[in-house]
Amino acid sequence: MNGYGNGNRPISSHTRKAQRCLLNCARAFALVLIAVLISQVANANIFSNDRRHDLSSVPTVLQPVGILRTAANPESWGTAFLVGQCHIATAFHVAFPGHKSPDFKPSTEAQAVFHVGKSEGQLRDQFLAKSKAHPVAWGDFHTRDFSGLSGDWAILELESCLGRHYGWVQIEKPASMGVDSRADAVSLATYPIDRRDRPGMTFESNCRVRETVAPGLSAMDCALIEGGSGGPVLEYYEGATVESSGYSLVGIAIRRLTPVDEVLPEYDVAHANIMVMSDVFAAAVKRLTGLASDLKWRLIPQKVQSP
């Protein structure tokens, strides 16, 4: 390998890690799979201590992250985020809450509303803007085994192009950045229901990508609560200047394995939280948005730190 994959783009350190451990991880997870409650969407496995904190003032760099409410289930929500001027990404099961029905078929006719934009002190269900949205691309999602979980993603088109005002999450680092040896340190931005009575957004930094569980799926120790499904897992990359630094997308948080109620003393692969890697749906995003892989995020990219 020369450090480049299909299309002559740099292979991220996440992809390299996946390639190295895929066989061994697959063997280990064959045993874990027996204990997995595949039907459990994101609801929380927390390790050591709850490192999440609430941002009552949501920084500009996280303004593209909002929530999606569907017409089929308007009282609930999942996290979603802008990936272009007129498109958002989220988990398949957030975009299609009726997916468990025996006669379910995903459709572009499904209706939803995306809420985004926060001013200081706004509560979780209060946003500055909203737009109707409908699915335009999605994965081959099912819960029979791990292979189907890599299809737990969806791209929706907005009636109003809110990304023109709030920006969007960059799918890849600029090509000039190359491979980041620290790329397994990530952050997660979500709107979980356990903090629905608090203002702003929930953010966890310096959690880690731990291992590959199946092609396109990785385990992480970021805490995940119901309502956070569909949230962006982000990597901060250092450029030569503040302007050339920023966040890029690692994946979409989707669910937990073998859920427990108590805080676990340390990371345990049997209770890991799972994300779909961005490599799985990046081509669909580029096709729909027309964004070049090295297009800069048109927002001030300050790094968000945990207190």
Helix (H) or strand (E) holding 70: strand 65-70
Question: Which residues, other chains included, contact 11 with Cβ-Cβ below 8 Å and sequence gap of 6+?
Answer: 1, 3, 4, 5, 179
CA distances from 160 to 84, 86, 90, 156 (A): 12, 7, 17, 12
**Structure tokens belonging to residue 190:** 């979500």
Domain ranges of the chain: 7-289
Do the beta carbons of residue 210 and residue 218 sit within 8 Å? yes
Burial of 171 (C-beta count, 10 Å sphere; 0-12/13-18/19+): buried
| pLDDT at residue 299, as a whole number | 45
- Strand pairing partners for 247? 236
Helix (H) or strand (E) holding 219: strand 217-220
Burial of 152 (C-beta count, 10 Å sphere; 0-12/13-18/19+): buried
Q: What is d(CA 285, CA 49) in angstroms, rounded to the nearest whole number?
A: 35
Q: What is d(CA 38, CA 129) in angstroms, rounded to the nearest whole number?
A: 34
**Structure tokens belonging to residue 298:** 């048109």
Q: What is d(CA 271, CA 258) in angstroms, rounded to the nearest whole number?
A: 5
Q: What is d(CA 155, CA 136) in angstroms, rounded to the nearest whole number?
A: 6
Q: What is d(CA 70, CA 68) in angstroms, rounded to the nearest whole number?
A: 6
| Alpha-helical segments (H) within the chain | 13-35, 92-95, 146-149, 163-166, 282-289
| pLDDT at residue 295, as a whole number | 40
N-to-C CA span, the chain: 40
| pLDDT at residue 51, as a whole number | 83
Do the beta carbons of residue 90 and residue 141 sit within 8 Å? no
Q: What is d(CA 108, CA 113) in angstroms, rounded to the nearest whole number?
A: 14
Question: Which residues, other chains included, contact 26 with Cβ-Cβ below 8 Å and sequence gap of 6+?
Answer: 214
Is 19 strand, coil or helix? helix
Taking the model in full, what pTM does it have?
A: 0.81
Q: What is d(CA 36, CA 243) in angstroms, rounded to the nearest whole number?
A: 43
CATH classification code of 7-289: 2.40.10.10
Do the beta carbons of residue 130 and residue 116 sit within 8 Å? yes
Note down pLDDT in tens along the chain; length 307 residues.
Answer: 333 333 444 434 554 554 555 545 544 454 344 344 444 444 467 777 778 888 989 999 999 999 999 998 888 899 999 999 999 999 999 999 988 888 889 999 999 999 999 998 787 778 999 999 999 999 999 888 878 999 999 999 999 999 999 999 988 765 444 444 344 689 999 998 878 778 889 999 988 898 888 899 999 989 888 889 999 999 988 777 777 778 889 999 998 777 777 777 788 777 888 999 999 999 999 999 985 433 444 444 456 655 5
Q: What is d(CA 235, CA 15) in angstroms, rounded to the nearest whole number?
A: 14
